[in-house]
Amino acid sequence: MRIAFINGSPKVKDSVSGELLKILKSLLTDKNAEVDTYELYKPQINENVKEELYRYDALVFAFPLYVDGIPSNLLYCLKSLQEFFCSKGPQNIKVYGVINCGFFEGSQNEVAIEILRNWSTKSGLSWGQGIGVGGGGMLISIKNIPLGHGPKKNLGNALHKLVKNILDYKSDNDIFVTPNFPRFLYILGGNKGWRDQIKANGLKVKDLFRQL
């Protein structure tokens, strides 16, 4: 089975989407699963990549939630891919999506998952499953905590189900994941993070509130 991982984050390095795909890859140990990874961090996709993506059994997109939807760099690529796929005709490719947001609640990714599902329908592909991951803001800082433990317990359950569905070429209901961590602490930590970052840039905390 040939699987394409597609990182749709515009961040060139240290993206949460990249971290989630790394975790997924570690779970896809089936010897029949061949995984290739593509990075679509620019708003262009070349013709070779479009041809290649048409030949996989499954496309697994990972991207961050931007303004309740798909980041524009990926949206430009998806439009171009949809036109290409439509010109080639329907194909038996399942589409899966792992969407993360900085908000605590994974359910806030619901609309972006729907947009990806609508894209797969319009592209002549079939929908597999969406995983909406909340608490994306802390996933990099806790990357050394094993999946399925502590704050990553729910995430582990969801990603294991997703991997099984991909390998079985199966469609399933979307899953929304919240961290196993108190929300008020996540918010306190997040707000402190912004203060630390603006100070690290040589500005003052009050500059966070600047109005133009």
Q: Measured between alpha carbons, how far is 196 from 203 in angstroms, rounded to an integer?
A: 10
Beta carbon nearer to another protein, 27 or 115: 115
1 near another protein, judged by CB under 8 A: no
Binder of another protein out of 66, 151, 167, 180 (CB under 8 A): 66
Q: Does 125 bind another protein (CB under 8 A)?
A: no
Distances (CA, A) of 102 to 57, 111, 170, 198, 202: 30, 15, 29, 18, 24
CA nearest to 150, candidates 185, 108, 200, 201? 185
Q: How far is the CB of 73 from another protein (least distance, A)?
A: 4
Nearer to another protein, 33 or 190 (CB): 190
Q: Side chain identity at 177, as an amino acid letter?
A: V
Angstrom distances, CA of residue 19 to CA of 91, 187, 192 = 29, 22, 23
Q: Which of residues 70-109 bind another protein (CB under 8 A)?
A: 70-73, 75-76, 78-79, 103-105, 107-108
Task: Using the rule CB under 8 A, give the single segment among 68-76, 85-93, 142-150, 163-171 that binds another protein.
Answer: 68-76
For the chain, the 3-state helix, strand and coil shares in percent, each to the nearest 5, are 45, 20, 35
| CA–CA dist 33, 164 (Å, integer) | 12
129 contributes a contact to another protein by CB under 8 A: no
Q: What is the binding site for another protein (CB under 8 A)?
A: 9-11, 15, 42-43, 64, 66-73, 75-76, 78-79, 103-105, 107-108, 110-111, 114-116, 118-119, 121-122, 183, 186-187, 190-191, 194, 197-198, 201, 203, 207-212
